[in-house]
């Protein structure tokens, strides 16, 4: 398993957890975003990480 596979699995596990906490049966983009921002290293784990305009 390469590092990107681990990162995606880690991110999706976080997204599933967020969906469950909210009582949702399906994982959507909102859950993925919540998983990214709840993980201190989340933004660094995203492929092609780019700075966001503020």
Q: 27 or 39: which carries more pLDDT confidence?
A: 27
Measured from the Cβ of residue 37, the count of other Cβ atoms closer than 10 Å reads 11
Answer whether residue 43 shows pLDDT above 90.
Answer: no
Put simply, whether the predicted model's pTM sits higher than 0.85 gets the answer: no
Tokens 């399906």 -> residue:
26
The per-residue pLDDT of the chain, averaged, comes to: 81
Answer whether residue 50 shows pLDDT above 90.
Answer: no
What pLDDT is recorded for position 7? 81
List pLDDT tens digits, range 16-33. Answer: 999 999 999 999 999 999
Integer Cα distance of 15 and 20 in angstroms: 9
Measured from the Cβ of residue 15, the count of other Cβ atoms closer than 10 Å reads 21
Q: Encoding tokens for residue 18?
A: 């967020």
Integer Cα distance of 20 and 5 in angstroms: 22
* Contact present, 32 and 11 (Cβ < 8 Å): yes
């Amino acid at each position: 398993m390469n590092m990107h596979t681990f990162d995606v699995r880690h991110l999706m596990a976080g997204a599933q957890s967020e969906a469950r906490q909210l009582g949702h049966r399906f994982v959507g983009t909102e859950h993925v975003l919540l998983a990214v921002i709840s993980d201190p290293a989340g933004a660094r784990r995203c492929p092609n990480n780019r700075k966001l305009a503020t």
